[in-house]
């Protein structure tokens, strides 16, 4: 072999070996993903598992090239700051958070680790982003509320139960858009010939204390916004509706899957699965500051017929035909 051919062969081997070495190094990387929610393991397990499954479909296998380390505040939002600080100090590649309270806690705990949220009502008002198109920091993800949803939710409730006239709204005042959402709900209720009464909740004790108001207001239906406190206490709220034998509509399918009567909103599992795409992009080099925050585009009407039977109510056929899912 002459000198020129030796040089060509050497260059060819070098060209092959560099990418192979780089590829091997990338494949051997084990990513560490923290998960932070104010809820309990039991309440969030299905959603976290949906996220892991979506990640697996993108090539991230739990225990092989990715490790998940969840932190649950077990229904006590006051613990979020400490848990976020714990995650922020341990060099995770990404932290996935479930809602506004967890997103704010994570944003305060770290300005370097990318944070992806699955459900923040108003990222700008919450202070975790400067705009939806360009978040500008280390936090991005998905919004979960549009004020206009209140109209659709109350219209569905009135269509299913034409005789209702007094609706109790359960709203978490810790959420920045809660007041605006509540006011819109009152406006829509009035246009539909109903009165709406807002009960403010920040914790499970508030939920319990306000049960008496249902009787005082002579409420004949409930409207539960999908806020963090309501979500954490969804089983209690569903129990309250059941004991008072009141029809209710909720802002997420997580409520109907837990025994609520009706829900209309963007699916919880779908948002967690969508969050996996954000994480994948970040692990491949994208910056959260440049990843636009996404708004929900698909909304589902879910009806739980088992609950309807327990309440002794009948869902009109016209509503059932429009339902995306019926739980029987």
227's CB contacts (< 8 A; 6+ apart) are 121, 171, 172, 174, 175, 178
Q: How far is CA 302 from the centre of its chain?
A: 17
Q: Of 196, 211, 216, 217, which is closest to residue 244 (Cα–Cα)?
A: 211
Q: Give the pair of three-digit tokens for residue 221.
A: 């239906």
pLDDT on residue 108: 96
User: Can you tell me the distance from the alpha carbon of 223 to that of 150, in angstroms, rounded to the nearest whole number?
Assistant: 9
pLDDT on residue 292: 97
User: Can you tell me the distance from the alpha carbon of 135 to that of 141, in angstroms, rounded to the nearest whole number?
Assistant: 9
| pTM recorded for the entire structure | 0.80
The topology (CATH level 3) of 29-144+268-290 is Rossmann fold (3.40.50)
Percent of the chain at pLDDT exceeding 70: 90
21-70 pLDDT, tens per residue? 443 444 579 999 999 998 888 778 889 999 999 999 999 999 999 999 99
Three-class SS state of 55: helix
User: Ranked by mean pLDDT, which of 137-151, 157-171, 228-242 comes out on top?
Assistant: 157-171
User: Can you tell me the distance from the alpha carbon of 104 to that of 83, in angstroms, rounded to the nearest whole number?
Assistant: 12
Q: Decide if pLDDT at 3 tops 70.
A: no
Q: Decide if pLDDT at 274 tops 90.
A: yes
**Number of alpha helices (DSSP H) and beta strands (DSSP E) in the chain:** 15, 12
pLDDT on residue 99: 87
**CATH assignment of 149-265+300-327?**
3.40.50.2300
Poorest-confidence range of 22-31, 97-106, 201-210?
A: 22-31
User: Can you tell me the distance from the alpha carbon of 158 to that of 264, in angstroms, rounded to the nearest whole number?
Assistant: 13
pLDDT on residue 181: 80
pLDDT on residue 42: 79
Burial 182-216 (b: 16+ CB within 10 A, else e): bebbbebbeebebebbbbbbebeebbeebbeebee
How many other CB atoms are there within 10 angstroms of residue 59's CB atom? 12
29-144+268-290 against 149-265+300-327: fold identical: yes
Q: Decide if pLDDT at 20 tops 70.
A: no
Strand pairing category for 300-304 and 262-265 = antiparallel
Query: What does pLDDT average to over the chain?
Result: 87
pLDDT on residue 176: 66
Q: How far is CA 262 from the centre of its chain?
A: 18
Domain ranges of the chain: 29-144+268-290, 149-265+300-327
pLDDT on residue 281: 98
Q: How far is CA 110 from CA 82, 94, 158, in A?
A: 12, 11, 45
Confidence category of residue 5, pLDDT binned at 50, 70, 90: very low
Helices (H), the chain: 3-28, 41-57, 80-88, 100-109, 123-126, 149-160, 178-191, 204-209, 211-216, 228-232, 234-244, 253-257, 268-283, 305-311, 317-322
Poorest-confidence range of 22-26, 147-151, 208-212?
A: 22-26
Q: Decide if pLDDT at 12 tops 90.
A: no
């Amino acid at each position: 072999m002459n000198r020129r051919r030796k040089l060509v062969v050497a260059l060819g081997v070098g060209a092959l070996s560099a990418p192979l070495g780089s590829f091997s190094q990338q494949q051997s990387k084990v990513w560490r993903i923290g998960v932070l929610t104010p809820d309990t393991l039991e309440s969030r397990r299905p959603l976290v598992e949906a996220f892991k499954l979506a990640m697996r479909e993108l090539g991230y296998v739990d225990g092989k090239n990715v490790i998940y380390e969840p932190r649950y505040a077990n229904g006590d939002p006051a613990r979020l700051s400490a848990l976020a600080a714990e995650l922020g100090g341990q060099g995770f590649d990404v932290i996935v958070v479930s809602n506004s309270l967890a997103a704010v806690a994570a944003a305060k705990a770290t300005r370097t680790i990318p944070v992806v949220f699955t459900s923040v009502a108003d990222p700008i008002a919450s202070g975790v982003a400067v705009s939806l198109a360009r978040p500008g920091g280390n936090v991005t993800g998905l919004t979960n509320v549009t004020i206009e949803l209140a109209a659709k939710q109350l219209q569905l409730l009135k269509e299913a139960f034409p005789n209702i006239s007094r609706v109790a709204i359960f709203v978490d005042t810790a959420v920045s858009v809660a007041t605006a959402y509540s006011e819109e709900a009152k406006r829509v209720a009035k246009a539909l010939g109903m009165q709406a009464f807002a009960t403010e909740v920040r914790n499970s004790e508030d939920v319990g204390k306000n049960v008496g108001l249902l009787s005082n207001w002579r409420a004949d239906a409930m409207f539960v916004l999908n806020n963090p406190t309501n979500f954490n206490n969804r089983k209690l709220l569903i129990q309250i509706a059941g004991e008072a034998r009141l029809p209710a509509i909720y802002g997420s399918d997580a409520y109907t899957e837990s025994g609520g009567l009706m829900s209309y909103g963007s699916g919880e599992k779908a948002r967690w699965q969508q969050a996996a795409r954000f994480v994948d992009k970040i692990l491949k080099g994208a910056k959260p500051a440049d990843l636009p925050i996404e708004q929900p585009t698909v909304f589902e009407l879910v009806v739980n017929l088992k609950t309807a039977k327990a309440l002794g109510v009948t869902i009109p056929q016209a509503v059932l035909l429009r339902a995306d899912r019926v739980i029987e």
